[in-house]
Amino acid sequence: MHQRFTADDAEDNGTTQTSPDSTAPEGTVFHHANDGRPLATPWQVATERSMALVDQPLADGYIIDPACGSGLQVWAHALTLSRPAIGIELDPARALASALNLRTVGAMSGEITSPWCSDSVVLAGDGLDAEQALTTALGQASPCVAMLQLDPARPRNSRHHDLSEMRPALDHVLDAWRPWFAPHELGPAMLLDLSPRLSTDQRRQVESMVDERWPGLRRTWVWTSRGRGRVDRLALWTGPLAADGALRRFVRIPPQLGERPFTVTTHHPTEPLKITVHPPQRGEHVSLLDAALVESGLVSQWLANVTKDKDLRWGVLHGRRPQLHHPHPLRLRPMDQGLVQATGRVVALYQGSLDDTTVQDVVELAIEHRFSSVKLRLATPPERQPAWQGALDRQLTGRSGDRQGFLAQHPNGHTLLLCVDAHNGR
């Protein structure tokens, strides 16, 4: 049996805690329970994702989230798409938090009496019991699901990110809700949030699960990043949500609230990238690019907008600092800046690696080449990094140098590249 709440009748009984969300309008406080806070989608990310759905042609009916947690994502959809939603949550205190958040979102938008809010329902109970859930929410079960939003729980600190670790399990959710989708010529609309670290093979497994139930259903893989090279969300959008035929999309959520996200999309299959290491060379350009963009497989599409160079060579593809070598500077537009950790021209080479015994040699090389600032952009032991960066900062500032730049590690592993920032030009 499911317990039913609405925005009207949810009573704060002290089992939830409130917490501000710095990405929501100022003063917004959401409810969470039983450590639900870190599981919740930040409001800015939730609303950006919902806004991307505004033009998608959904069937009539409800948005369903069968594992809704604190409900931030499902209420962002309901508000933005002006549609009632049903959130289902196994943990009763979290279900109550979700109902209180429905009221908060209704009140903050001034739309608490709009049908999307007043007809929305939260159920405490099992999101896999679809028929029972629809009956409790609506009085009867019928094929009324316009869109399924799923963000299953995953064990914290999991190393494997195995599909079998998701709760509820993806295949069980697909089977449970399959009979209840409202008919749509493009098939069921689903937004499936998966572990951001799924491998290519695991993504194929997800596609097989979908294909077994709805052969050939349209789909778009969407990587969402809030910067710092991290993939925050990896999701599969299906049916009407993939109506434009895109196969992959990368979405960079902007650092400032209110700015539009930056997206890169492809409608064509992407080619795997290859590593090509040439000997270190003065004069060539080195760029350390956003690791999430590279992981999404869309970096070549993006590069086509910022360089005409054909001779692009990847020195490093994995890890935090994917490294590209190219003959000419990138032509970055303001919106591209967030996707580049560092870019510049190699002006000097140092044979060796950075350690306590070589850091002074690097400082002297930087002085010789007129640097006033050099940032370390290479893997360093975290306990030594501040000392090495400090040695550069202390000895370079106040001298006559007029170049800013960075120090990178050539992929051969035994040469350091001293680079002048591209915008510095000299």
Ligand X SMILES: C[S@@+](CC[C@H](N)C(=O)[O-])C[C@H]1O[C@@H](n2cnc3c(N)ncnc32)[C@H](O)[C@@H]1O
Q: With binding defined as CB under 6 A, does residue 72 bind ligand X?
A: yes
Q: With binding defined as CB under 6 A, does residue 71 bind ligand X?
A: yes
Q: With binding defined as CB under 6 A, does residue 238 bind ligand X?
A: no
Range list of β-strands (E), 362-402: 371-376
Task: Work out how close the CB of 129 gets to ligand X at its nearest, in angstroms, rounded to a whole number.
Answer: 8
Q: Which segment (84-92, 106-114, 133-141, 300-308) binds ligand X by CB under 6 A?
A: 84-92
Strand-pair partners of 350: 416
Task: Work out how close the CB of 150 gets to ligand X at its nearest, in angstroms, rounded to a whole number.
Answer: 9
Distances from the Cα of 60 to the Cαs of 54, 133, 143, 218, 408, in angstroms? 14, 19, 10, 19, 54
Contact 69, 98 (CB under 8 A): yes
- Report helix, strand or coil for 265: strand
CB closer to ligand X out of 30 and 350: 30
Task: Work out how close the CB of 408 gets to ligand X at its nearest, in angstroms, rounded to a whole number.
Answer: 37
**The one among 39, 112, 340, 367 contacting ligand X by CB under 6 A:** 39
Q: Which segment (7-15, 33-41, 275-283, 342-350) binds ligand X by CB under 6 A?
A: 33-41
Q: Is the peptide bond before 168 cis (omega within 30 degrees of 0)?
A: yes
**Helix (H), strand (E) at residue 395:** helix 385-396
Q: With binding defined as CB under 6 A, does residue 67 bind ligand X?
A: yes
Q: With binding defined as CB under 6 A, does residue 167 bind ligand X?
A: yes
Q: How far apart are the first and last CA of the chain?
A: 71
Q: What are phi and psi of 408, to 5 degrees?
A: -120, 165
Site for ligand X in 8-27 (CB under 6 A): none
Cβ-closest residue to ligand X? 69
Contact 77, 61 (CB under 8 A): no
**The one among 44, 50, 70, 224 contacting ligand X by CB under 6 A:** 70
Q: With binding defined as CB under 6 A, does residue 48 bind ligand X?
A: no
Q: With binding defined as CB under 6 A, does residue 343 bind ligand X?
A: no
Task: Work out how close the CB of 423 gets to ligand X at its nearest, in angstroms, rounded to a whole number.
Answer: 39
Q: Which segment (38-46, 272-280, 326-334, 367-375) binds ligand X by CB under 6 A?
A: 38-46
Task: Work out how close the CB of 65 gets to ligand X at its nearest, in angstroms, rounded to a whole number.
Answer: 7
- How far is Cα 51 from Cα 2, in angstroms, rounded to an integer? 30
Site for ligand X in 86-125 (CB under 6 A): 88-91, 94
Q: Which segment (62-70, 174-182, 245-253, 317-325) binds ligand X by CB under 6 A?
A: 62-70
Task: Work out how close the CB of 116 gets to ligand X at its nearest, in angstroms, rounded to a whole number.
Answer: 17
- Give the helix ranges, DSSP H, for 281-351: 291-295, 299-306
Angle between the N-to-C axes of helices 170-177 and 200-213, in degrees from 0 to 180, rounded to the nearest 10: 20
- Give per-residue burial for 318-327: e unless 16+ CB within 10 Å, then b: eeebbbbbbe
Q: 247: exposed, middle or buried (C-beta count within 10 Å: 0-12, 13-18, 19+)?
A: middle
CB closer to ligand X out of 69 and 240: 69
Q: Work out the angle at residue 389's Cα, subtended by the Cα atoms of residues 384 and 392, and round it to the nearest 5 degrees.
A: 130
CB closer to ligand X out of 195 and 343: 195
Q: Residue written as tokens 């935090």?
A: 320
CB closer to ligand X out of 176 and 408: 176
**The one among 151, 171, 295, 421 contacting ligand X by CB under 6 A:** 151
CB closer to ligand X out of 134 and 419: 134
**The one among 47, 73, 220, 380 contacting ligand X by CB under 6 A:** 73
Q: With binding defined as CB under 6 A, does residue 69 bind ligand X?
A: yes
Count the alpha carbons within 13 Å of 15 in the hemisphere toward its beta carbon: 15
Task: Work out how close the CB of 288 gets to ligand X at its nearest, in angstroms, rounded to a whole number.
Answer: 32
Distances from the Cα of 226 to the Cαs of 231, 234, 251, 292, in angstroms? 8, 12, 9, 9
Residues in contact with ligand X by the rule CB under 6 A = 36, 39-41, 66-73, 88-91, 94, 126-128, 151-153, 167-168
